[in-house]
A = this chain, B = another copy of it.
Amino acid sequence: MDDEKRDFVSIDDLGNEEILGLFRLADAYDEDLRAWASQCTGSILATLFFEPSTRTRLSFESAMQRLGGSIISANDGEVMSAAKGESLADTVRVVGGRYADIIVLRHPHEGAARVASRFADVPVINGGDGAHEHPTQTLCDLYTLWKEKGRIDGIEVLLAGDLKYSRTVHSLAYALARFGASLVCVPFPGLEIPKSVLERMQRDWGADVTRGEFSDISGLTPGKDAVYVTPHKPHQESLFTQITPPAREKIDAIYMTRLQKERLERDLDSKDYPSIDSEFLKETRFRDTRVMHPLPRVDEISYDLDQDPRAIYFRQAALGVPIRMALLAFLLGVVKLDAPLPERSSRPVYRSDAGINCANPACVTNGEGHRYLAPEFTILRDSPPLLRCVYCDLEVSPSLVGHVASKKLHRGNAAEAKRILPERRVYFEDEGQADSAGFGTGATS
């Protein structure tokens, strides 16, 4: 593993200045897409898709070839050596050996791209890891907003539809919070944005979250509950402050999402799922609103809107090519950006050889990687302990903390637990787990 290689597993792997640098580079590419066919000549991109995603794959393959590079592609999980029992770690070590100079990975297990980035000798780009992240979609969404509105900080973005299961919406929400945009979340009832997403926006970027009523808009939502996220405000005591803000005067963009039918609860009645059409956009506050959608759409955006200049979802998809060109050229080291590296997290990391596991069944540590990966967590808070899986980002609250040498066990919120140095701590889910690791329950404080 090369210390200097850069990966793009999460949007946080790039600094704000780097992201803006990529936007400017993408603009240069976009002026004449056919003019760059010798920039990455001789370089090879491997697209390893363990689950299908034709659009993502094609946009990367287009971007790499527009730069003059070549493609090797394995786009059928069943066909991959996985069928012969090969681990992802081995696959990326081979492909990142002499085969390819950069890898895009799509994998059903959450955190799989992080695993790949650790084992491959070449840069790894996350092309979607389960329901976890899809950072190039987010990069493309941000780039589109930046191009359309000239900036991201200070703009107002309305997120609508399925805010619970849409991976792209969560990643976009974090990125908007980070760049200082305001959000209005207007979910379809039952598909509200998860509390953990809001908490993270508060914790990591100091966003201010308030709950209110969204003035009714025909067709947008049968419910009226909205969540407002405002950047860089002092941390609130409670998660939601129950005020009713005025309906926003001016919405810069609506980000519409399709219903993730494959993940839907059985008893959710989706017949009133919103659909945006020309009629909808007639309100004054939408006069300058851009309608975005990660595509594919089903029925949530009417075909009659396609000719409206505010409907930019096809333009948004198209911009996926130049921004991916910029990302590839940067990670391959062909283009340098005059920007500082992103700040590394200063939070301590806990590696669990014997203790707590990630509680997310879709996490790569419980799936593909369980044979060779130890669970690993960022320690967000000491007491009561709060950990975040470094692979899938799920937050877990271990109930017990032990001392690696004395094997003494304490409740997570006990004073004794807090006094153990982070590197000497062992976290446990429960006494049974501690017991099998030889930590004495009798000693629990």
**Contact residues of A with B, CB < 8 Å?**
30, 33-37, 41-44, 46, 52, 54-55, 58-59, 61-62, 65-66, 70-72, 74-76, 79-81, 83-86, 89-91, 93-95, 97-101, 258, 295-298, 303, 314-315, 317-322, 371-372
Contact = CB atoms under 8 A, between A and B. Distances in A.
A28 to B, nearest CB: 14
B34 A58 contact: no
A74 B43 CA distance: 22
A54 B34 contact: no
Contacts of A100: 62
16 contacts: A37-B41, A54-B74, A59-B99, A61-B72, A62-B99, A65-B71, A81-B295, A85-B296, A85-B298, A86-B298, A93-B314, A97-B321, A98-B318, A98-B319, A99-B321, A303-B372
A72 B64 CA distance: 11
Contacts of A89: 303
B318 A90 contact: no
A209 B333 CA distance: 54
A94 B42 contact: no
Contacts of A91: 296
B84 A298 contact: yes
A27 B74 CA distance: 27
Given A44-B65, A54-B80, A58-B74, 17 more contacts: A30-B98, A33-B42, A35-B42, A37-B41, A54-B81, A58-B95, A61-B72, A62-B100, A65-B71, A84-B296, A85-B298, A94-B317, A97-B314, A97-B317, A98-B319, A98-B320, A98-B321
A99 B322 contact: no
A65 B58 contact: no
B58 A99 contact: yes
B98 A33 contact: yes
Contacts of A94: 55, 295, 314, 317-318
The 4 closest A-B pairs by CB, nearest first: A97-B318, A86-B296, A34-B42, A98-B321
B314 A62 contact: no
Q: Find the residue from A42, A98, A319 having the highest chain B CB count within 10 A.
A: A98
Contact of A42 (B37, B44, B55, B93): B37
Contacts of A83: 52
A278 to B, nearest CB: 15
Given A44-B66, A65-B72, A72-B62, A81 B296 contact: yes
A123 to B, nearest CB: 15
Given A70-B65, A85-B296, A98 B314 contact: no
